[in-house]
């Protein structure tokens, strides 16, 4: 058996360096990462990359920073498996390898000029932070912006400082809720769907961008449709177990679609009849 | 990197899995190059008795003395690895649990049986916490090597949770059922590269059962081949009797 | 080239041809494993080869996408770049049936769809393919006619048809032509040989017919109506989730990617290995949610990948009718029976509408 270098390989890795890390919650850690020579990742909000720790493995992670930031990019990693737990042990100065970006993110060009209703559940805030920060970097290009955020408990809240900033801004509307309050919590209590009826939108010119745990989607979609938002203006991002990112390995398939190539962001209209999606 | 301190200990077993390590050939030198073996009764006379990074355990726990000893080893070891069916699932020693304990003692020790306390056979994890499992009778060396590497890297090792048939088919073996022979491959956890079947033998179920077997489907298959349920259960019990203990 | 398209090889020269071929580069052909099991293995003489064989345990994909294939080599030292590699072994495969040639055509489409997989594409071009016609059905499990794979449909360099005393050989490519030239055992085919071939094909047209009572072009439509069919629930009770059906399938290509270090923990490789959508952990994400937890959903997925999704993506069925999934299934899950059930269920639905 002959082994030959393959320069066109879809599995080639790019070296990257961790610039900065921050423990966010018991399970989530924030990483700021730069490619070699600070070359831009050149992603779209909503896309993901494959993060490698050679010798341990590779996992798909959403990019959570705006592509306007060109020198580096951010990841928010939840420790759930072998690779992500090992990632949590890394610190500034350590190296990782990446591939990507992969997939179709949020259709920015279509969203421009329209109003946006952004709904994030738990870790769903990570890919949406990429979209939100992009919008804030280009604020005048978008219409009204509503951000609804929900998580189980206050201590699981990610990007707390930034949420606080969004809450203070006058050019967007922000609301959040927790499923279970703790003694220090003074805000809304209840699942995220309870926030939707109170949002004042013009449904015909509003696009909804929704990312959260699978269980959230059916309930949120029902509320959005009740609000009168058309099906092709509801955008959802799906989490699946991507291994190759190239639409081959089959792990992320939802019926005839490959989440890694056809998604992870889909128009609800396109997938509403795919029972494996929900 | 400082070499991890390792001890290898045996309980009720045939010591065949340790023999597998000793017989590894070149790989054993590479393994020994990355670890420091401080205690290993089968091949060295030194005793260590102090803290260990890794304790490797062969054999099942069958009497009060063994319970005490394994608890002491657990206290001294950062990582505990169970090797071989006796340690991981109870193995053939589990057949003891088919009988009354006093009957067993009388049969083995005769009149003086009272001097030999005993217990139901248990797998190691049924007594103390086990960090890594290398299943098999004897254990499959490539899996042991993979697991040692995982332990040294500090990452988990998951044995496959699908039946031996998967690996057997990939090896293009003629199915034992095509040869009119019963085989436990369909319900036994893979990871051995269908070692026995590759060599013309059947699968005896030494690696334990897959975690979510389709029992109804398996019964249909037995019926299709006219195999009585009891026969299969007896075969299963040869290695898997201890699964009844919680 | 045009008039050279057909040549013949007399049977008495077959062994010499195979010996010569095996000396040119590694030669693979079907061999008997006993108990009516066959496998593609390396051969060096014609007598090793089973000319009459039912589909091998594993299909040809094992040479095109090996069970385990290195993708990257890396060093653990800081700053060291991983190197992307492809493992290659030039070989000739003799004796591929039309169902298996169809399987390779399926894989070619998958791996040349963007983003292209150059590991596969580079390897594929080092493999010479020689087909062998099935004059009769191999057994009752095959359904090759239904999926348009019972007659040669390309995908080979040379194609052999056994016509009694001799083989007639279709020379399709320059590589095939070179084999004919270099080995030197072939003769030009004349009209009588072509007539013999035509007679065999006529006979086949009588013997081979759709194995399931449905027009092939109606299959996608049948599947459109069958996502919630009862038969999937029935398979849920029977399937042992052993993954044999996908491992033996000529057009299944799902894989897992893993890393492995050497014992020094200083060097490692990333490799891909065959995986199966039938195994429980396949669609499970790290958080623990399994998107195809039920065996019924996994079996249904397999059938839809063969008869529906591939039609959207590649305009062809990814079932090649080889019958391996049925032959290998311990639980006796039969592709033909499943299709029959789906047809029956959909007819029942039509009746119910009228009643």
Q: Does C192 lie in the same domain as C309?
A: no
Give strand pairing partners of A207: A116
Give strand pairing partners of B45: none
User: pLDDT tens track of chain A, all 278 residues?
Assistant: 899 999 999 999 999 999 999 999 999 999 999 999 889 999 999 999 999 999 999 999 999 999 999 999 999 999 999 999 999 999 999 999 999 999 999 999 999 999 999 999 999 999 999 999 999 999 999 999 999 999 999 999 999 999 999 999 999 999 999 999 999 999 999 999 999 999 999 999 999 999 999 999 999 999 999 999 999 999 999 999 899 999 999 999 999 999 999 999 999 999 999 999 98
Instruction: Give the range of the structural domain holding residue C8, as residue numbers without chain letter.
Output: 2-66+88-207
Q: Does C222 lie in the same domain as C192?
A: no
Q: What is the pLDDT of residues A39-78, one digit of tens each?
A: 999 999 999 999 999 999 999 999 999 999 999 999 999 9
Alpha carbon C12 to chain centroid, angstroms:
30
By C-alpha distance, which of C60, C246, C211 is closest to C137? C211
Tokens 């293995």 sit on residue: C41
Whether the pLDDT of residue C354 is over 90: the answer is no
Planar angle of CA B14, B139, B1, nearest 5 degrees? 110
Q: Enter the tokens of residue C64.
A: 């095109």
Q: How far is C354 from chain B (nearest CA, A)?
A: 37
Strand-pair category, C267-274 with C68-75: antiparallel
Q: Does C248 lie in the same domain as C112?
A: no
Q: Does C344 lie in the same domain as C220?
A: yes
Return phi, psi of residue A239, to 5°: -100, 125
Q: Does C229 lie in the same domain as C112?
A: no
Neighbours of A207 (CB within 10 A): 22
**Any idea of the CA torsion for A118, A124, A130, A135, to the nearest 10 degrees?**
10
Neighbours of C230 (CB within 10 A): 13
Distance (Å, whole) CA C92 – CA C40: 11
Chain A neighbours among B 139-158 (CB < 8 Å)?
Answer: 153-156
Q: In this complex, do C82 and A10 lie within 8 Å of one another by their Cβ atoms? A: no
The pLDDT value recorded for residue C1 is 44
Whether the pLDDT of residue C4 is over 60: the answer is no
The answer to whether A143 and A115 have CB atoms below 8 angstroms apart is yes
The pLDDT value recorded for residue B1 is 64
Domain limit, last residue, from B131, B153, B175: B153
Instruction: Determine, yes or no, domain membership for C77.
Output: no
Q: Does B58 lie in the same domain as B119?
A: yes
Strand-pair category, A173-178 with A145-151: parallel
Q: Does B106 lie in the same domain as B168?
A: no
Which whole number is the average pLDDT over C258-274?
A: 94
C230-238 and C295-307 helices, crossing angle to 10°: 120
Q: Is A55 on the interface with C (CB under 8 A)?
A: yes
By C-alpha distance, which of A105, A111, A133, A104 is closest to A207? A111
Distance (Å, whole) CA C321 – CA C144: 4
- State the ipTM, two decimals: 0.93
The answer to whether C196 and C163 have CB atoms below 8 angstroms apart is yes
Look at residue B179 and give its three-state secondary structure: helix
Q: What is the pLDDT of residues C23-45, one digit of tens each?
A: 999 999 999 999 999 999 999 99
**For chain B, which residues score pLDDT lower than 50?**
none
Number of domains into which chain B is organized: 2
Residues of chain A with CATH 3.40.50.80: 108-237
Strand-pair category, B132-134 with B77-83: parallel
The answer to whether C308 and A253 have CB atoms below 8 angstroms apart is no
Distance (Å, whole) CA A246 – CA A226: 37
Instruction: Determine, yes or no, domain membership for C270.
Output: no
The pLDDT value recorded for residue A162 is 95
Distance (Å, whole) CA C129 – CA C155: 8
CATH number reported for the structural domain that contains residue B140 in this entry: 3.40.50.700
Q: In this complex, do B224 and C332 lie within 8 Å of one another by their Cβ atoms? A: yes
Q: Quote the DSSP letter at residue A263.
A: -
**What Å distances lie between residue B244 and B45, B89, B122, B229, CA to CA?**
37, 10, 10, 17
Q: Does B189 lie in the same domain as B131?
A: no
Q: Enter the tokens of residue B182.
A: 């019963």
Q: Enter the tokens of residue C74.
A: 């890396």
The answer to whether B199 and B60 have CB atoms below 8 angstroms apart is no
Residue A26 burial (10 A CB sphere; 0-12, 13-18, 19+): exposed
**Chain A CA closest to residue B156:** A82
Instruction: Determine, yes or no, domain membership for B158.
Output: no
The pLDDT value recorded for residue C355 is 67
Measure CB to CB from residue B220 to each of C57, C238, C280 and give the nearest one: C238
Instruction: Determine, yes or no, domain membership for C37.
Output: yes
Number of domains into which chain C is organized: 2
Q: In this complex, do C331 and B217 lie within 8 Å of one another by their Cβ atoms? A: yes
Distance (Å, whole) CA A196 – CA A229: 12
By C-alpha distance, which of C208, C94, C90, C248 is closest to C156? C94
Look at residue A100 and give its three-state secondary structure: strand
Strand-pair category, A95-102 with A73-78: unpaired
Neighbours of C185 (CB within 10 A): 18
- pLDDT averaged over chain C? 95
B141-153 and B26-34 helices, crossing angle to 10°: 20
Q: In this complex, do C86 and A84 lie within 8 Å of one another by their Cβ atoms? A: no
What is the pLDDT confidence band of residue C65, given thresholds at 50, 70 and 90? Answer: very high
Q: Does C326 lie in the same domain as C202?
A: no
Q: Is A187 on the interface with C (CB under 8 A)?
A: no
Instruction: Determine, yes or no, domain membership for C262.
Output: no
Look at residue A207 and give its three-state secondary structure: strand
Domain limit, last residue, from B123, B153, B183: B153
Return phi, psi of residue B116, to 5°: -120, 85
Q: Does B186 lie in the same domain as B147?
A: no
The pLDDT value recorded for residue B246 is 65
Look at residue A131 and give its three-state secondary structure: helix
Instruction: Give the range of the structural domain holding residue B229, as residue numbers without chain letter.
Output: 164-244
Which whole number is the average pLDDT over C256-278?
A: 94
Q: Quote the DSSP letter at residue C151.
A: S
Q: Does C188 lie in the same domain as C99?
A: yes
Which helix (H) or strand (E) element contains residue B175?
none
Q: Does C121 lie in the same domain as C166?
A: yes
Domain limit, last residue, from B153, B184, B204: B153
The pLDDT value recorded for residue B28 is 77
Q: Does C202 lie in the same domain as C325?
A: no
Q: Is B180 on the interface with A (CB under 8 A)?
A: no
Q: Where are the alpha helices (DSSP H) in chain C?
A: 14-24, 61-64, 98-112, 118-124, 174-183, 191-207, 219-224, 230-238, 244-247, 295-307, 309-314, 324-328, 335-354
pTM here is 0.94
By C-alpha distance, which of C297, C307, C310, C322 is closest to C222? C307
CB hemisphere CA count around C257 (13 angstroms): 27
Q: Which residues of B touch C (CB under 8 A)?
A: 27, 30-31, 33-34, 145-146, 148-149, 152-153, 161-163, 165-166, 169-170, 172-175, 177-179, 186, 212-214, 216-218, 220-221, 224
Q: What is the pLDDT of residues B174-213, one digit of tens each?
A: 999 889 898 999 889 999 999 999 999 999 999 998 888 8
Q: Does B133 lie in the same domain as B15?
A: yes
The answer to whether A3 and C87 have CB atoms below 8 angstroms apart is yes
The answer to whether C142 and C181 have CB atoms below 8 angstroms apart is no
Residues of chain A with CATH 2.40.30.10: 14-102
Instruction: Determine, yes or no, domain membership for C271.
Output: no
By C-alpha distance, which of B69, B72, B87 is closest to B130? B87
Distance (Å, whole) CA B217 – CA A203: 51
Instruction: Determine, yes or no, domain membership for C267.
Output: no
Q: Does C55 lie in the same domain as C13?
A: yes
Using a CB-CB cut-off of 8 Å, the residues of chain B touching C260 are 146, 149
For domain A14-102, the question of CATH label 3.90.700.10 is answered with no
Q: How far is A122 from chain C (nearest CA, A)?
A: 13
List of chains touching B (3+ CB pairs within 8 A):
A, C
Look at residue C272 and give its three-state secondary structure: strand
Q: Quote the DSSP letter at residue C163.
A: -
CATH architecture type of domain A108-237: 3-Layer(aba) Sandwich (3.40)
| % of chain C at pLDDT higher than 90 | 90
By C-alpha distance, which of C167, C163, C155, C179 is closest to C250? C155
The pLDDT value recorded for residue C286 is 79
């Amino acid at each position: 058996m002959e082994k030959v270098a393959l320069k066109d390989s879809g599995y080639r890795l790019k070296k990257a360096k961790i610039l900065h890390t921050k423990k966010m919650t018991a399970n989530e850690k924030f990483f700021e990462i730069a490619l070699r020579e600070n070359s831009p990742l050149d992603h779209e909000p909503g896309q993901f990359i494959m993060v490698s720790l050679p010798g341990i493995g590779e996992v798909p992670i959403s990019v959570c920073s705006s592509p306007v930031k060109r020198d580096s990019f951010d990841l928010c990693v939840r420790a759930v498996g072998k690779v992500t737990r090992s990632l949590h042990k890394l610190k500034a100065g350590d190296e990782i390898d990446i591939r990507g970006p992969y997939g179709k993110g949020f259709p920015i060009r279509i969203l421009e000029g329209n109003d946006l209703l952004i709904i994030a559940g738990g870790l769903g805030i990570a890919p949406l932070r990429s979209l939100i920060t992009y919008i804030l970097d280009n604020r005048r290009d978008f219409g009204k912006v509503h951000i609804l955020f929900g998580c189980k408990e206050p201590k699981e809240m990610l990007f707390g400082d930034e949420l606080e900033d969004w809450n203070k801004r006058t050019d967007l509307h922000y609301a959040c809720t927790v499923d279970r309050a703790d003694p220090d919590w003074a805000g809304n209590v209840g699942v995220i769907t309870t926030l939707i009826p109170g949002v004042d939108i013009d449904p015909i010119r509003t696009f909804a961008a929704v990312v959260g745990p699978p269980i959230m989607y059916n309930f949120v979609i029902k509320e959005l449709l009740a609000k009168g938002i058309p099906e092709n203006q509801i955008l959802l991002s799906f989490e699946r177990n991507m291994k190759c990112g190239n639409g081959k390995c089959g792990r992320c398939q939802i019926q005839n679609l490959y989440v890694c190539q056809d998604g992870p962001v889909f128009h609800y209209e396109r997938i509403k009849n795919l029972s494996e999606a929900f | 990197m400082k070499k991890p301190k390792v001890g290898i200990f045996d309980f009720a077993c045939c010591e065949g899995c340790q023999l597998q390590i000793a017989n590894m050939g070149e790989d054993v030198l590479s393994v020994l190059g990355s670890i420091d073996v401080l205690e290993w009764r089968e091949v060295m006379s030194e005793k260590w008795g102090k803290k260990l990074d890794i304790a490797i355990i062969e054999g099942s726990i069958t009497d009060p003395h063994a319970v005490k000893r394994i608890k002491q080893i657990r206290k001294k070891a950062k990582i505990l690895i169970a090797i071989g069916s006796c340690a991981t699932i109870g193995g053939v020693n589990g057949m003891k649990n088919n009988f009354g304990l006093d009957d067993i003692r009388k049969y083995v020790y005769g009149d003086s049986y009272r001097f030999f306390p005993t217990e139901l056979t248990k797998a190691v994890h049924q007594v103390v916490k086990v960090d890594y499992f290398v299943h098999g009778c004897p254990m499959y060396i490539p899996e042991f090597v993979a697991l040692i590497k995982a332990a040294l890297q500090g990452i988990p090792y998951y044995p496959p949770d699908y039946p031996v048939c998967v690996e057997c088919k990939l090896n293009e073996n003629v199915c034992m059922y095509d040869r009119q022979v019963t085989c436990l491959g369909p319900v036994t956890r893979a990871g051995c590269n269908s070692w026995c079947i590759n060599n013309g033998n059947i699968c005896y179920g030494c690696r334990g059962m897959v975690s979510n077997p389709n029992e109804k489907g398996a019964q249909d298959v037995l019926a299709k081949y006219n195999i009585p349920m009891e026969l299969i259960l007896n075969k299963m019990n040869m290695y898997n009797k201890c699964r009844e203990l919680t | 080239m045009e008039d050279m398209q057909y040549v013949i090889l007399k049977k008495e020269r077959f062994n010499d041809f195979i010996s010569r071929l095996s000396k040119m580069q590694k030669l693979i052909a079907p061999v008997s494993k006993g108990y009516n099991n066959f496998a593609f293995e390396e051969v060096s003489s014609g007598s090793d080869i089973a000319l009459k064989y039912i589909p091998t345990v594993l299909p040809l994909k094992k040479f095109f996408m090996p069970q385990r294939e290195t993708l990257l080599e890396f060093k653990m030292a800081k700053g060291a770049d991983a190197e992307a590699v492809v493992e290659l072994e030039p070989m000739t495969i003799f004796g591929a049936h039309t169902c298996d040639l169809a399987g390779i055509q399926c894989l070619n489409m998958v791996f040349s769809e963007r983003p292209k997989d150059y590991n596969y594409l580079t390897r594929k071009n080092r493999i010479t393919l020689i087909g062998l016609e099935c004059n009769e059905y191999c057994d009752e499990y095959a359904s090759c006619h239904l999926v348009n794979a019972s007659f040669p449909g390309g995908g080979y360099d040379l194609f052999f048809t056994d016509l009694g005393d001799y083989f007639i050989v279709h020379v399709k490519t320059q590589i095939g032509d070179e084999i004919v030239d270099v080995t030197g055992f072939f003769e030009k085919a004349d009209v009588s040989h072509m007539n013999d071939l035509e007679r065999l094909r006529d006979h086949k047209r009588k013997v081979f017919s759709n194995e399931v009572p449905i027009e092939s072009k109606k299959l996608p439509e049948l599947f459109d109506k069958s996502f919630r069919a009862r038969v999937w629930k029935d398979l849920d009770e029977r399937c042992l989730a052993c993954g044999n059906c996908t491992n033996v399938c000529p057009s299944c290509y799902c894989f897992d990617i893993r890393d492995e270090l050497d014992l020094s923990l200083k060097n490692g490789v990333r490799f891909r290995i065959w995986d199966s959508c039938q195994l429980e952990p396949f669609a499970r994400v790290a958080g623990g949610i399994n998107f195809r937890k039920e065996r019924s959903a996994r079996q249904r997925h397999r059938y839809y990948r063969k008869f529906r999704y591939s039609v959207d993506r590649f305009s062809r069925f990814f079932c090649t009718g080889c019958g391996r999934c049925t032959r290998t299934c311990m639980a006796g899950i039969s592709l033909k029976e499943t299709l029959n059930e789906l047809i029956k269920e959909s007819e029942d639905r039509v009746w119910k509408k009228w009643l």
